[in-house]
Amino acid sequence: MKCRKCSARAVINMRQHKLALCKTHFIAWMQEQTERFIHHYRMFARDERVLVAVSGGKDSLALWDILLTLGYRADGLYIDLGIDEGTAYSETSYACVRAFAARHPEAVLHTVDVAAVYGASIPEAAQVFHQGKPCSTCGLAKRHIMNRVAGDKGYSVLATGHNLDDEAATLLGNTLSWSVEYLRRQGPVLPPGEAGLVRKVKPLCRFYERETAAYALLRGIDYIYDECPFAADATSLRYKELLNALEQDSPGSKLRFYLNFLRAREQHPDFLPDEAGLTLHACPTCGQATTNDGDCTFCRMWDRVRRFKAQEVATTPA
């Protein structure tokens, strides 16, 4: 198969766009398209400082690479979750992030070691607070830490590497359960809320996962290939498989599902109205936005984890 633009050998065929491209033109296409999405969804301006949440995986490192190549002021944030489970997941992913950052002296890498700062790793905290379900603990911790670091370090916008497969799977899950509040908030841009929430953007949300993977490989980015050991239990993987089966029969169905949802919501704003009575206020302990009376869920979690650990120490025979 030949590249549509120059007739060289194509490295990727994107059936949903009826577009095959060679290495050079595919890399340029990914960067141009990202720039287009940033403008189209009014994600951020040239002079804004962007904090990119990097996990060491292909999507977030591809995003950081694209933003730097496009000339944006993009720094990275790595959160060390302390996940090992015999796979050295956190250690390996951090090594990939550090290697990328070392090649980009123009950018700053911020790191937060969860166990060192809060007293327990994510799997340890999950044992106490989420009946051993690390993804709930992890999501809560990442949202809080990303927002805090962005606010503390003066970034007006936080960018994550979610791709179309992630977004379509989340959309399917939210639709199956008719989670109106989540459906209302899902999209390429989550505007800043009250009480110090920063704007969140997903510049890669219209790229298929295979496209971000191809981009990372073709750009020579060393990323962690293995999924987090807890990902295998995630329901979203089953939704991704379902959507892949649909895509196989009907190329473009994933993209249509997502884009038509965004369009429908824009055309019918009353379909998903703002939830009445949901007021945010600042957590008295950390200052971040919460709907709780008193401390936010993040602060309650660490308080319980610390009390549990202190009790454990007190009852352990010397």
The total of other beta-carbon atoms located within 10 Å of residue 239's CB is 20
Give me the least distance between CB of 74 and ligand Q46, in Å please: 21
Q: How far apart are CA 144 and CA 298, in angstroms?
A: 7
> Is residue 289 near ligand Q46 by the rule CB under 6 A?
no
Token pair of 128 as six digits = 């106490």
**Is residue 234 part of the contact set for ligand Q46 (CB under 6 A)?**
yes
With contacts defined by CB under 6 A, name the span among 63-71, 227-235, 260-268, 288-296 that binds ligand Q46. Answer: 227-235
Establish if 296 lies at the interface with Zn ion (CB under 5 A).
yes
Q: Which residue number, 155 or 230, has a Cβ lying nearer to ligand Q46?
A: 230
Burial of 294 (C-beta count, 10 Å sphere; 0-12/13-18/19+): exposed
Among 12, 43, 228, 299, binds ligand Q46 (CB under 6 A): 228
Residues 211 and 164: their CA atoms lie apart, in Å, by 10
Stretch that binds ligand Q46, among 144-152, 178-186, 226-234, 287-295 (CB under 6 A): 226-234
- Least separation, in Å, of the C-beta of 89 and ligand Q46? 8
**Burial of 228 (C-beta count, 10 Å sphere; 0-12/13-18/19+):** buried
Q: Which segment (20-28, 180-188, 194-202, 258-266) binds Zn ion by CB under 5 A?
A: 20-28
Dist. CA 221–CA 203, nearest whole Å: 18
The size of the interface with Zn ion (CB under 5 A), counted in residues, is 11
Written as one letter, the residue type at 188 is P
CA dihedral of residues 152, 157, 161, 164 (deg, nearest 10) = 150
**Three-state secondary structure call for residue 120:** coil
Specify the residue, 146 or 228, whose C-beta has the smaller distance to ligand Q46: 228
- Output the CA angle 48-203-20, nearest 5 degrees: 135
Q: Taking the CB of residue 232, how many other CB atoms lie within 10 A of it?
A: 8
Partner interacting with residue 135 (select from Zn ion, ligand Q46, none; CB below 5-8 Å by kind):
ligand Q46
Count of C-beta atoms within a 10 Å radius of residue 2: 12
Q: Which of residues 102-121 bind ligand Q46 (CB under 6 A)?
A: none
The residue range among 37-45, 88-96, 272-280, 295-303 that interacts with Zn ion, by the rule CB under 5 A, is: 295-303
157, 171, 228, 299: which one binds Zn ion (CB under 5 A): 299
Stretch that binds Zn ion, among 25-33, 62-70, 89-97, 269-277 (CB under 5 A): 25-33
The answer to whether residue 139 forms part of the interface with ligand Q46 (CB under 6 A) is yes
Stretch that binds ligand Q46, among 33-41, 130-138, 204-212, 297-305 (CB under 6 A): 130-138
Q: What is the residue whose two structure tokens read 């070392």?
A: 102
What type of residue sits at position 33?
A: Q
Rounded CA-CA distance 181/166 in Å is 18
305 binds Zn ion, rule: CB under 5 A: no
Neighbour count for residue 136 (Cβ, 10 Å) = 14
The answer to whether the CB of 65 falls within 8 A of the CB of 219 is yes
Among 16, 229, 285, 306, contact with Zn ion (rule: CB under 5 A): 285
- Please choose which of Zn ion, ligand Q46, none residue 6 contacts, taking the beta carbon within 5 to 8 angstroms, the exact cut-off set by kind: Zn ion
Residue closer to Zn ion (CB basis): 252 or 287: 287
Kindly tell me which residue out of 19, 88, 135, 286 binds ligand Q46, with binding defined by CB under 6 A. Answer: 135
Residue from 57, 95, 61 nearest 226 by CA: 57
Q: Name the site residues for Zn ion (rule: CB under 5 A).
A: 3, 5-6, 8, 22, 25, 283, 285-286, 296, 299
Q: Name the site residues for ligand Q46 (rule: CB under 6 A).
A: 134-135, 138-139, 228, 230-231, 234
